[in-house]
Structure 1
Amino acid sequence: MSENYIAEYQLDRSTPIPKDEDFVFYVETEQMPQYLALYINNNASWVGFRSIELSNRDYLIGRTKLNADEFLTIVYHKTENSELSISINTYLNEAFEPILWAVLVTFILSIFMIVYMTLKFIRPLRELKDWTSQLNKSNKITNVPNFTFEELNGLANTLAESLNENLRLIEKDTFFIRAASHELRTPIAVSSVNIELMNMYSEIQHVSPKLTVPLLRIENAVKDMQQLSETLLWLDHDGGSSIESTQFDLRSTIHSIVADSRYLLKNKNVDVVINCENSNICCNFPSFKIVLGNIVRNAMQYTISGRIEIDLDERMALIKNVDRNETFVNAVNPDSTDNSDYGYGLGLILVEKICNKGHWKYSTSNIVGGREVKILFK
């Protein structure tokens, strides 16, 4: 309408101003409402489109030149019910409806693809988890399933190779422990019998004390080998089967253990204090004797001048050794190799393994001048 008016106005300046239901056309500001005339007069030379608010009403204003001094001003009062607003809304709805549908369809397809890819990847992972949960240290893995993805197959093969290698090492160690322990029993028994005969002979024949000392050392070494052999056999016995529990007297047992190891305190200034209730405990007797025997032996072996305290009841065992000689403060460290005549580190490793097998809580800690070992039976 404005273009037609401008073309006719160029030919005839008396051309009447267009009239429309939604738009109002002005050539002179005097014809405009006062608030609109004031806005136009503030910048009378601008052209183009502006959306403004005047007197709490929204307007869309367009201006274009008629000639050098005159302008055509088009004013549209924006309302939701106007024909132009309805037309614009209809146009926008028609224009954006396909886009909205395309976006919606794309979103649904994306969700579907994400779910599909997730399930496709999770299924092999679940199969890998189920397969690994069925593995055990007793059976060699001969067949690795196909888990679809090359990375998962590589992981499964690596796991199978590692488990098979561990199984081979375990079988090798188990065979060695079993064979060595059984084979040692005969020479240990023969040595023990002959030592007893030699002791009897030395008493009858009044053998020189110079021979008695080496004989005592041999006897102590045989005792050490016998205890180690019994420990290894017990650990290998029945693998992970249930452990039989019996009831026995605490006081007599701990006194017997201390008496068997007192030879380690010969020529040492060490006091042994036993605090034990006159009560019974129900657990596996061989494991109890082996564990307490190893700990008491280690405390005696590595205490040169000091005190060993043994507190024992049916719930807990607490063995503490304190050496007055500072050079032996760290001698009880399992990682230390000093003064280890019969393998102190191995003794503690065996103790820990037996406690794990019997579900006992084992802990050890450094204290001033020595070490403290605690075992909770319940």
Structure 2
Amino acid sequence: MPKSLALKWVISSSFLLLIAIVLLIYSLLLPEYSVRGLLYTASAMMEEEAQYFSRHYAKNPNTPPPHNYFYTSVIGKEALPEKIRHMLDTPPSMSFGAVQVFGDLDSEDEDEGRAVLAQPLSDGKTLYMYDIDHDQEEGGEVETPRSDAYLDHELRGVIFISLAVFIPALIIIALLVWWLVRPLGRLAQWSTTLKDPEAVSGQRPHFGFKEFNMLADALAQSVQQVQAASLREGRLLRYTSHELRTPLAVLKANIELLALQSGGVLPPPLQRIERSVLNMQRIAETLLWMSRELPEPLPEEAIDMSGLVNDLIEEHRYLIGTRDIELILDISSEPCRLPFTACRIVVGNFLRNALQYADDGVVEINFAYPQLRLVNRIRETQQSEASADFGYGLGLELMRQLSARLGWHIEVTVEEQCYTVTLAFENTEPPQEPQPEADNPADLPS
């Protein structure tokens, strides 16, 4: 189903549901308030009759109590029928106006429910009025065909009026939804064409509403800004790929020439330059690989983690300086298959952090595939806010991003200045389908 049609269906269904709820509430409340109206009418009639009798009784005590088809009355509780007299000794089940109901009026039992009104008289006596049930009489209740026909006619009129309101309201709502959603669907369809730069810079369609046109302008402007940022990023990648890697390659070649001229051993200043050039080269290659939208999978090879860690320790041993730091290694010699350069960058960055921030004491490095663990004591940091990133080189956050791309998992814990990094070389994500080979693969240099 197209998105515009789905949106129309959702909006129209919402309006219909709202109307249905309103009609349901109206249907439930109408009988309730109709019954209340009938009860009020009965209470008013009985109370008015009782007041009328009370006035005449004050003038003439021989005035007979009122009696008609619907109710009768007696003076004094002793004159009431025995069952009604017993009912008055129980609490009423309902009261409406001056009338109290004892029992259930809807019951088929003739004595189950009775409506009673008590009216005090001028001489201290009490007039009791109660309803009469004619169902048990011979011939049953009197039929009222003309009144029933009138009521049925009025009910049919109410139903007709309800349909006359509901159907036009439904049509009006459907037209309103179509009128509002149609340009919104056109806006949604037009937004899918904004991937093309020519569509963004071209003439924008008119969507009939000022608000939709403003939204379209804002959307086109946002897409233009994103495309401009993407172009800047592309230029930056090209500059990084050529303008930065070229001088790094020149520096590396000249350092190798200096090493040959000096007999293979560089002086400490040139060693530091060599290490910095190598790190910059790896950082540039890593950033280029990570910045690709769909980077090609890195080739895996058999890695001796023990040899790799020892090489990295020798490469970063200068960070120890004059501190008394003992390295405790517990590394499995079993070969494992991993992307060599990415593994070297991540492990080297964590080792660099460990040596950079370690206090005098012990640095533990444990490895048993698929988990590498580094534990060291860190110095008191001067940061004003708590942070888990004691980054150096690429930094911990960048390592998280690189590991996430590779499907690895990093866990960092800091407890009482004890800094622990756990790196799991286990891909927790489902395997991806191999991407087609590109003309210029972005494999990291080993």
- Normalising by structure 2, we get a TM-score of 0.55
**Is 1:185 matched with 2:233?**
no
- Mapped to 1, the partners of 2:156 and 2:357 lie a distance apart of 89
Instruction: Show the 5 A alignment for 1:1-378.
Output: 29=64, 36=72, 38=74, 81-83=141-143, 85-114=144-173, 117=176, 141-142=200-201, 150-199=210-259, 201=261, 212-236=267-291, 239-251=293-305, 252-323=307-378, 325-327=379-381, 333=387, 344=392, 346-376=394-424, 377-378=426-427
Which stretch shifts more, 368-377 or 127-136? Answer: 127-136
Contact residue 51 and residue 58 of structure 1 kept, 8 A: no
Distance 1:358 1:111, change over 3 A: same
Letter in 1 for 2:310: H
Q: Which moved more, 1:325-334 or 1:358-367?
A: 325-334
Shift, 1:234, TM fit: 3.1
Q: CA deviation at 1:243?
A: 0.8
Distance 1:302 1:197 in 2: 34
* Percent identity of paired positions between Structure 1 and Structure 2: 26
> Is the contact made by 2:251 and 2:277 (CA closer than 8 Å) also made in structure 1?
yes
Distance 1:367 1:245, change over 3 A: farther
- Write the deviation string for residues 42-63 of structure 1: whole angstroms up to 9, x where unpaired: 9xxxxxxx9999x85999xxxx
| Alpha-carbon separation, structure 1, partners of 2:287 and 2:234 | 10
Structure index of larger Rg: 1
Partner-residue secondary structure (3-state), 1:344: coil
Cα deviation code 1:175-223 (max 9, x no counterpart): 224313432333333333433444555569x9xxxx9443333333323
Cα distance between partner residues in 2 of 1:246 and 1:78: 99
Q: Distance in 1 between the 2:161 and 2:350 partners?
A: 77
Bigger RCO (CA 8 Å, 6+ sep): 2
How much has 1:229 moved relative to structure 2? 2.5
Label 1:106 to 1:350 Cα distance change in 2 as closer, same or farther (>3 A): same
Cα deviation 1:148-167 (Å, max 9, x = unaligned): 65545544543443343233
Decide whether the 8 Å contact of 2:65 with 2:75 is kept in 1.
Answer: no
Distance 1:318 1:139 in 2: 52
CA distance change for structure 1 residues 107 and 370 in 2, over 3 Å: closer, same or farther? same
Partner amino acid for 1:245?
Answer: P
Tell me, in whole angstroms, the C-alpha distance in 1 between the residues paired with 2:330 and 2:358: 19
Q: Residues of 1 paired with 2:361 and 2:302: CA distance?
A: 31
State the SS of the aligned residue for 1:38: strand
CA separation in 1, counterparts of 2:319 and 2:349? 12
Deviation of 1:124 (Å): 6.2
The answer on whether the counterparts of 1:302 and 1:331 sit within 8 Å (CA) in structure 2 is no
Unaligned 5+ segments in structure 1 are 1-26, 43-49, 60-74, 337-342
Superposition TM-score, scaled by structure 1 size: 0.63
How many residues in Structure 1 have an aligned counterpart in Structure 2?
317
Deviation at 1:102, TM superposition (A): 0.5
Map Cα deviations across residues 293-339 of structure 1 (whole Å, 9 max, x no partner): 2222222222243433333344233333323x434799995767xxx
Unaligned 5+ runs, structure 2: 1-61, 79-97, 102-109, 116-130, 428-446
Change (3 A) 1:195 1:145: same
Alpha-carbon distance change, 282 to 37 in structure 1, aligned in 2, over 3 angstroms: closer
3-state secondary structure, aligned to 1:311: strand
Letter of the 2:367 partner, please give it.
L
Give 1:130 deviation, angstroms: 6.8
